[in-house]
Structure 1
Amino acid sequence: MLSSSALIIVIIYLIAMLGIGWYTNKFLIKNSADYMLAGRALPAIMVAASLSANNIGGGSSVGVASKAFGAWGLSAGWYVLAAAIGIIPMAFFAPRLRRVLAYTIPEVVGRRFGPGSHLITAILNMVSLFCLTSSQILASGTIIFALTGIPIKIAIFIAGLMTIVYTVMGGLWADAFTDLFQWIIIFFGLLISLPFIINGAGGWETVVSKVPPAKMSLTGVGVATIISLIIQYFITFMSGPEMVSRIYAARDERQGTIATLLSALFMGLYAFIPAVIGIVALSAFPKANPNSALATAVFNLAPGWVAGIVCAAIIASTMSSADSDMLCASTIFSKDIYQKYINPNVTDRALIIMTRISNVIIGLLAMVIALFEINIITLNIFAFMLRAAGPFSAFTLGLIWQKASRTAGLISILAGSTFGIYWQILKEPHGILAIVAGTVVGMLAFILTTWIERALGGREAPPIFPKR
Structure 2
Amino acid sequence: MHTHLIWLIGYSIAQLALGAWISRRVKTSSDFFVAGRALGPGLLFSTMLAANIGAGSTVGATGLGYRDGFSAIWWVLSAGIGSLLLAFWIGPAIRRVAAEHDLRTVGDYLELRYGVTVRTLISGLLWVGSVFILAGQLIAVSWILNVIAGVPKTLGCILAGVLITVYFASGGLLTSAYVNVVQLIVKLVGFAIAIPFALSASGGWDALRAFTPTETYWNPWQGGESGLVYLAMLGPAFVVSPGLLQKVYGARDDRTVRIGVGFNALALILYAAVPVLLGMMARVQFPDLPQSELALPTLLVQGVPAAVGALGLAAVFSAELSAADAVLFILTTSLSQDFYKRFRNPGASDAQLLRVTRFTAVIAGAAGVGIALVAAGVVSALSIFYTIMGVSLFVPILAGLYSTRTRSADALAAIIAGIAVVGGWRLLLDGKPINGITAPMGGLIAAIVAFLVVHLVGRARGGDINSGGRPPHTERN
Mapped contact 2:73–2:220 kept (Cα < 8 A): no
Give 3-state SS (helix, strand or coil) of 1:250's partner: coil
Other-structure match for 1:148? 149
Aligned partner of 2:80 in structure 1 is 84
CA distance in 1, matches of 2:123, 2:201: 49
Match of 2:19 in 1: 21
Determine if the alignment matches structure 1 residue 429 to structure 2 residue 426: no
Residue type matched to 1:249 in 2? Answer: G
2:338 is aligned with what amino acid? D
Contact 1:104/1:332 (CA < 8 Å) preserved in 2? yes
Contact (CA 8 Å) 2:19, 2:175: kept in 1 or not?
Answer: yes
Is this contact kept in 1: 2:136–2:372, CA < 8 A? yes
Alignment match, 1:390? 392
Question: Aligned-pair distance for 1:464?
Answer: 3.0
Letter in 2 for 1:449: V
Residues of 2 paired with 1:196 and 1:465: CA distance?
52
Q: Which residue of 2 aligns with 1:46?
A: 43
Q: What is the distance in 1 between the residues matched to 2:219 and 2:44?
A: 30
Task: Indicate the residue corresponding to 1:212 in structure 2.
Answer: 213
Pick which of 159-168 and 267-276 moved more.
267-276
The separation in 1 between residues aligned to 2:81 and 2:474, in whole angstroms, is 31
Q: What is the 5 A alignment of 1:183-202?
A: 183-202=184-203
CA distance in 2, matches of 1:454, 1:222: 45
What are the Cα deviations for residues 388-419 of structure 1, in whole angstroms up to 9, with x where unaligned? Answer: 31232112211111221342112222222212
Moved more, 101-110 or 117-126: 101-110
Work out which of the residue numbers 374, 377, 383 in structure 1 matches 2:376.
374
Q: Partner of 1:42: helix, strand, or coil?
A: coil
Q: Is the 8 A contact 1:126 1:329 kept in 2?
A: yes
Query: For 2:440 and 2:365, how far apart are their aligned partners in 1?
Result: 25
Q: 1:404 aligns with which of 394, 402, 406?
A: 406
Q: Is contact 1:20–1:166 with CA below 8 Å preserved after alignment?
A: no
Please say which of residues 251-260 and 145-154 is displaced more in the overlay.
145-154
**Residue from 58, 64, 71 that aligns with 1:75:** 71
- How far does residue 78 in structure 1 lie from its aligned partner after superposition? 2.1
* Distance in structure 2 (CA, Å) of the matches to 1:464 and 1:335: 21
CA 1:366–1:172 in 2, change beyond 3 Å: closer, same or farther? Answer: same
Q: How is 1:28-39 mapped onto 2 (pairs within 5 angstroms)?
A: 28-39=25-36
Secondary structure of the residue aligned to 2:235 is helix
Q: Distance in 1 between matches of 2:66 and 2:152?
A: 24
Give distance in 2, aligned partners of 1:209 and 1:442: 44
Q: Aligned partners of 2:370 and 2:121: how far apart in 1?
A: 25
Q: Could you tell me which residue of structure 2 aligns to residue 180 of structure 1?
A: 181
Is the alpha carbon distance of 1:178 and 1:221 closer, same or farther for their aligned partners in structure 2, counting shifts above 3 Å?
farther
Partner of 1:463: 471
Structure 2 residue runs without a partner (length 5+): none
Tell me by how many angstroms 1:226 deviates: 4.2
Q: Is the 8 A contact 2:301 2:309 kept in 1?
A: yes
Cα distance in 1 between the residues matched to 2:93 and 2:432: 33
AA of the residue aligned to 2:129: S
- Check the 8 A contact 2:216/2:223 in 1, yes or no: no
SS in 1 for 2:84: coil
Please report how far the alpha carbon of residue 213 of structure 1 lies from its aligned counterpart in structure 2 after TM superposition: 6.7
**2:57 aligns to what?**
60
Cα-Cα RMSD:
2.1
Output one character per residue of 1:84-106: Cα deviation in whole Å (capped at 9) or x when no partner.
12221112111111111121112
Does structure 1 residue 418 correspond to structure 2 residue 426? no
Question: Relative to 1, partners in 2 of residues 1:198 and 1:227: Cα closer, same or farther, differing over 3 Å?
Answer: closer
TM-aligned CA deviation for residue 326 of structure 1: 1.1
Per the alignment, residue 444 of structure 1 pairs with: 449
- TM-score relative to the length of structure 2: 0.92
Is 1:37–1:248's contact at 8 Å kept on the other side of the alignment? yes
Amino acid at match of 1:298: L
Residue 322 of structure 2 corresponds to which residue in structure 1? 320
C-alpha displacement of 1:308: 0.8
What's the offset of the Cα at 1:210? 4.5
The 5-angstrom pairing of residues 236-247 of structure 1 reads 236-247=237-248
Counterpart Cα distance in 1 of 2:42 and 2:416: 37
- For 1:218 and 1:321, how far apart are their aligned partners in 2? 29
